[in-house]
Chains A and B, each alone.
Chain A
Amino acid sequence: MPDAKGRRIALGCEGSANKLGIGIIAHDPLTGEAIVLSNVRDTFVSPPGTGFLPKDTARHHRAYFVRVAKKALAASGVSIDEIDCICYTKGPGMGGPLTSVAVGARTLALLWGKELVGVNHCVGHIEMGRAITGASNPVVLYVSGGNTQVIAYAEQRYRIFGETLDIAVGNCLDRFARTLEISNDPAPGYNIEQLAKQGGRVLLDLPYAVKGMDCSFSGILGRADDLAAQMKAGEPGPDGEPFTPADLCFSLQETVFAMLVEITERAMAHVGSNQVLIVGGVGCNERLQEMMGAMAAERGGSVYATDERFCIDNGIMIAHAGLLAYETGFRTPLEESTCTQRFRTDEVFVKWRD
């Protein structure tokens, strides 16, 4: 039931990758405002040179679920009565981690007598980005460790205009961080970004793989790994000088980000938009924001991005997108509250928009 102020409230649980996030959101029916009441997250960080494996990640989420949920509930100040529904990430993502969070969400829903709402992770990112930045109808670049898509809204679907043909751009960066044995704390991509700032003396030659509206990253990663091996063997770079991990990070970022800017621009031209919204963990990257901003400005537009509270996987985006769906009458019956590793962004009927 609505809270003391007449607002609708949802609790959202996210765990499709290595971040466990639980958040509570309020929707004001009079103003249409979305208010973040709490947003708590715990990240499973694996040692340098390694990535996070499904079994360990699921174990982390199970171990931290109660802790994070209680913190989110206490910080929000709402009572169980005031919560309308429990939202959880149905997919896409890693199977074991997704399911471990779903089990927790189901148990809460059953104990508290609340209905469940299964949410598409990508739609969660998009809706939170729209809410936080106020961007009305931008082309969305969704870039993370697990996803790379260029999305535009049309007729009640988030349509995928372009995407990676193989791995996500964040996956390319994360796996390159492993090659260089860069720390995964707080996130490998963040550390690559900092290291890249020390580069810039030389732009190493990496394959630029844009294919129409789509792009590909596995070839770039392979070549970057080769260059890293050359560097470790003491071989000089293309200009005859030795090169450093910073040079590699700089070159990798410049190349992959330019590719993303190109496919985003192509979608903007197609759709006739000059606004770009960047969501997903890679969206925190300031160099990407800068490059995208330069392109958008040339077209007389602008780029919108959120800070790390919202661009990195979090529970509040699941609560927000879930509550939007709930308010249109959408429910996920308990028997259907499963998770799925593959869940296309355009499978969701966006009933809450025109």
Chain B
Amino acid sequence: MATDDNFPCSLTLQVPFPDARLASVALQALRVDKELSGLVKRELTTVAAPESSDAGETILRVDYKATTNRMLRVAVNSFMDSLALVLEVQEEMDVDVIESEKASQ
């Protein structure tokens, strides 16, 4: 994202996932909701890890820019909360996890 005089405060997060499928699931789940404030802009995408580009796009990349550091902090913290939920659902409720738990019962 190009720097923008109107949105001088920016932050980029790169979240590694075990595989491209999980990174894609996170991207699709999180990009649906628009940013609540017009003072914040967000771009979400997946990219390949530089060392292992043959594994596909395993990294979720978020670019935030905001008018003030406070707005940036609020938006990023909120994103992290949603990301944490996505990760927990992926860890605990993916198809293979549920199946292996059922099998061991």
Contact = CB atoms under 8 A, between A and B. Distances in A.
A and B from one complex: yes
Contacts of A99: 33, 82
The main secondary structure of chain A at its interface with chain B is helix
B19 interface: no
Contact of B94 (A65, A100, A111): A111
Nearest to A106: B29
Interface stretch (B4-12, B52-60, B65-73, B83-91): B83-91
Interface in A53-108: 58-59, 62, 65-66, 69-70, 73, 79-80, 99-100, 102-104, 106-108
B28 to A, nearest CB: 6
A66 B92 contact: yes
Given A70-B92, A80-B95, A99-B33, A111 B25 contact: yes
A100 B102 contact: no
Contact of B89 (A65, A80, A339): A65
A58 B77 CA distance: 13
A110 interface: yes
A118 to B, nearest CB: 11
Contacts of A39: none
A111 B81 contact: no
B84 A62 contact: yes
B17 to A, nearest CB: 12
Residue of A80, A102, A111, A112 most packed against chain B (CB within 10 A): A111
A111 B94 CA distance: 6
Interface string B19-54: 000000110111011100000000000000000000
A69 B94 CA distance: 12
Interface of B: 25-26, 28-30, 32-34, 81-82, 84-86, 88-90, 92-95, 98-99, 102
A106 B85 contact: no
A103 B87 CA distance: 11
A103 B29 contact: yes
Interface string A139-176: 00000000000000000000000000000000000000
Nearest to B34: A338
Contact of B29 (A62, A107, A338, A339): A107
Contacts of B85: 62, 65, 100, 103-104, 107
Nearest to A59: B81
B93 A108 contact: yes
Given A62-B85, A100-B82, A100-B85, A69 B29 contact: no
A107 B92 CA distance: 12
The 9 closest A-B pairs by CB, nearest first: A106-B29, A107-B89, A110-B25, A62-B85, A107-B29, A66-B92, A107-B86, A66-B88, A111-B94
B36 to A, nearest CB: 8
A106 B93 contact: no
Contact of B33 (A73, A110, A112, A338): A338
